[in-house]
Amino acid sequence: MAQNEIGIKPAGKQLVITRVFNAPRATVFKMWTEGEHLKNWWGPAGFDLNIKQLDLKAGGIFHYSMGSNGMEMWGQFIYVEIVPPEKLVFINTFSDEDGNITPSPFMPGWPLEVINTVTFEEEEGKTTVTIKGNPHNATEEEYKVFESAIASLQQGFGGTFDRLDEYLVSLSL
């Protein structure tokens, strides 16, 4: 099947998650783009986030590790497009400590790269965040593995977004 100019397969299932946050768009955008905030909510509950690099520009990288109970895994965003405070486009990968792309530590056949578009829309002081994700430069088998995991990804992002909700509430106290 043909791919478009940035390597997204135009057909098939994609990850789509939408969540409304009780905060202005500029604030929610900061939560996604500033290390001091990301470390307080990005990732699963019970995991600590350590930031090795955060270079918020097209071609820049957010390189981080997450750990819990002695387990550590590395990941990164490679920013493709940044339109403050409206949109972020990034390729998400697992990596090693040096930033080399690595296979998923938990799911064989997972795509090496997943491209995500995150949009931020404000209405009456609340912000709707929508994530659309799809494998990037992936094989047919990697697409199938990704598609089979969409429900699990939605659940995982639900927990991560719960953490963001809690963090936003803590900032307004």
Within 2-161, strands assigned E span: 15-21, 48-54, 61-68, 71-83, 87-95, 101-102, 114-123, 126-135
Between CA 37 and CA 167 the distance in angstroms is: 8
Given this model, what pLDDT does residue 6 score?
Answer: 44
Angle, CA 133 vertex, CA 130 and CA 139 arms, to 5°:
170
Instruction: Indicate the pairing of strand 15-21 with strand 126-135.
Output: antiparallel
pLDDT tens-place string over residues 84-122? 999 999 999 999 999 999 999 989 999 999 999 999 999
Given this model, what pLDDT does residue 12 score?
Answer: 64
pTM of the model: 0.91
Look up the CATH number of domain 15-171: 3.30.530.20
Answer for the pair 131, 15: CB distance below 8 angstroms, yes or no: yes
Answer for the pair 82, 62: CB distance below 8 angstroms, yes or no: no
Given this model, what pLDDT does residue 4 score?
Answer: 37
Using alpha carbons, select from 84, 143, 73, 135 the residue that is nearest to residue 106: 73
Is the pLDDT reported for residue 5 higher than 60? no
Instruction: List, in order, residues 6 or more apart from 141 with CB less than 8 Å away.
Output: 109
Answer for the pair 95, 65: CB distance below 8 angstroms, yes or no: no
The domain limits of the chain are 15-171
